Structure 1
């Protein structure tokens, strides 16, 4: 591979914004890709994937390059040189790469790869919490899986098409996909492609949604005609899946504390042809209280550490702080206590997170079930999804039923 100066400059500019100004990697990359209209698919892929790669391995590359934060541009070029050398890419004779110690880089890599926190490029506290909660052997496998690039998985919108029809439609555009066993609505791309520019996406024939995330709506046991509350709907990935499973019959009430996320859900619902969704912003406790004892099903896709989705959000490794995890556990329990009251007698509730930590998952459910509110619920089943076993994001979901 030959390095092109303008593409490398784009990567360095992106890393400056992500590492030094705390910008989100996905937003930065979206902007970078608009920089030059002459860039082809390969150029855009280089900018996006190289930026993500260096973000993912920040600690390892900084250690090898012997640079410390905040990184100036010279430091970032040194990290870039480490990335290129380890990828086997020949460095051009640019001033930024003068005196790059190629043999030393490879030697340091071999040395640091013996220590998990460097090998997997994670903060000390994250390595400690993962080891403590999952055990050494499982955490070693799990964090390695969470550092792999995520596959692109589509969820077929069955309100508008079928898996077979969508597969054919994409095949005609040279986008090859495959079915996944035990994921009824999923298509996996064989190679990465820009699916958002396709007519199929614009017509609402699919959403991009990880396979593990697709399990959550299925777990909720919804049926056409029910009244369902998605209590932490966000921009509505799971809400739209619920709408498809309900065949547009019945009522879905999508709740969130952020109006802008519900606005995005409204836009997506229109594209998906999902007509049974009503959005309500949680601007006071009255919104929840009005729904007490009214829902056949409640989904609590709780805010969490997001440790299960590091593959698609590698910059979260550097933004997340240990005190946030402690705070979010309190929030999770508060939400369970309040929102569970929307489930009517005989109704069911799913508590879900995109975390792999038991303290955010089954321990929260156990704590809830022994509380005064939780005593009126029974535990039906749960599912722990680990990335190293599934090949997809880490997730947790528990199904509870309100007793008579």
Structure 2
């Protein structure tokens, strides 16, 4: 029998600890937990998601606030007490519907379960001082206000001159973006199907078959998802397919493809282009000459691609293990389009994956930039004369974007 008397704060505490102390990815930690507790009511699952994500998103700000009231430096605190205080402060600052007294009492109780009992008085004292003072003592620097590491905030300011705007955008609410599987249904049919399942659906202006969705409790429960009617994909990722100018019969290589969103998108576009009719495309799969070859470095990554191929039902796409750093002479001059969506720092998607800012550093950006250069110099060889090489990242670091493009073009006059 499912246990409906679950301590939600304790569940969220485990997520926060796994991410901030043990380096687990937030998306993985949340997905694993919500899968385990999918029997809980929607509001309880929402609480778990909101506080665990919120604490990871704002831990720099929360640490600065805690440091204002604690005589013990934040990095010297018992790790469990540190995360309990982070969660409690987040509730006090950002979850007004919860009574302050309930927040204090529940986290004092949690501290007695997760740390030496003598420390519960420490937790109680700090939280009650914050409430009594109404956070008046708190004075935050600009990077702390936006909960961004100072070096990264300064980097955004140096490169773009608008760090506060960038960091503020990261803290905005991010809706889920999806793309219609055009080989299974029309955008109109998908919208109707999702609305019948209680999902709010909003069109994306730039992509006629894309939507923003909200009020999603558990994505895997949606019939439209299980039936492969759509694929979850960021708008910027969709633009790779949109701008690819793929043509009927094209051979496309995606060299770092997992989990396969861009590969699948172009495979779908090939179906529609070659058949001009979605229903006919489903019946006429074997006649297509165009094909997408989707590569990645490990069996685990390639299996992610294969799972998505199976769910979406496409047959003009093949997933294989291949190391993009190693030249495959059999592929030289074979591709009409090569997609190089390369490993990057992910600075452009901090809004969706806030744990990036707790794990990335300057040296990572330097080494990733070098890796990207190396891979570009390999995969350029796969492009046919007059073919297309698409370089994309999900970062906003100039070293990984503009600087790499300039260096590549300076060394490769035929592109």
Normalising TM by the smaller chain, what interval? 0.7 to 0.9
Change (3 A) 1:105 1:298: farther
Instruction: Kindly indicate whether residue 136 of structure 2 is the aligned counterpart of residue 107 of structure 1.
Output: yes
Distance in 2 of aligned mates of 1:19 and 1:199 = 34
- Runs (4 or more) in structure 1 with deviation over 6 Å come to none
Distance in 2 of aligned mates of 1:149 and 1:39 = 24
Instruction: Kindly indicate whether residue 99 of structure 2 is the aligned counterpart of residue 90 of structure 1.
Output: yes
- Output the TM-score relative to the length of structure 2: 0.84
Distance in 2 of aligned mates of 1:160 and 1:38 = 30
1:385 is aligned to none
1:301 Cα shift? 0.5
1:31 is aligned to 32
Change (3 A) 1:72 1:178: same
Distance in 2 of aligned mates of 1:274 and 1:105 = 57
| Gapped regions of structure 2 (runs ≥ 5) | 68-72, 110-122, 272-284
2:74 aligned counterpart, secondary structure:
coil
Question: Aligned pair count?
Answer: 367
Distance in 1 of aligned mates of 2:307 and 2:194 = 23
- Root-mean-square deviation (Å): 2.0
1:302 Cα shift? 1.3
1:328 aligned counterpart, secondary structure:
helix
1:375 is aligned to 413
Contact 2:180 2:231 in 1 (8 A): yes
Instruction: Kindly indicate whether residue 83 of structure 2 is the aligned counterpart of residue 76 of structure 1.
Output: yes
Instruction: Kindly indicate whether residue 245 of structure 2 is the aligned counterpart of residue 216 of structure 1.
Output: no
1:335 Cα shift? 1.1
Change (3 A) 1:215 1:370: same
Q: Which of 1 and 2 has greater Rg?
A: 2
| Gapped regions of structure 1 (runs ≥ 5) | 378-404
2:405 is aligned to 365
1:367 Cα shift? 0.6
Deviations 1:305-346 (A, max 9, x none): 100011111111101111000000001111111101111111
Change (3 A) 1:5 1:269: closer
- Output the TM-score relative to the length of structure 1: 0.86
Deviations 1:263-314 (A, max 9, x none): 1111211211111112221258766321111111111101111000111111
Distance in 2 of aligned mates of 1:26 and 1:187 = 21
Instruction: Kindly indicate whether residue 376 of structure 2 is the aligned counterpart of residue 347 of structure 1.
Output: no
2:195 is aligned to 171
Instruction: Out of 186-195 and 75-84, give the one that drifted further.
Output: 186-195
1:124 Cα shift? 1.9
Instruction: Kindly indicate whether residue 134 of structure 2 is the aligned counterpart of residue 125 of structure 1.
Output: no
Distance in 2 of aligned mates of 1:285 and 1:328 = 13
Distance in 2 of aligned mates of 1:324 and 1:18 = 19
2:334 is aligned to 294
Relative to its length, the structure with more helix (as a share) is 2
1:105 Cα shift? 5.3
Distance in 2 of aligned mates of 1:282 and 1:246 = 23
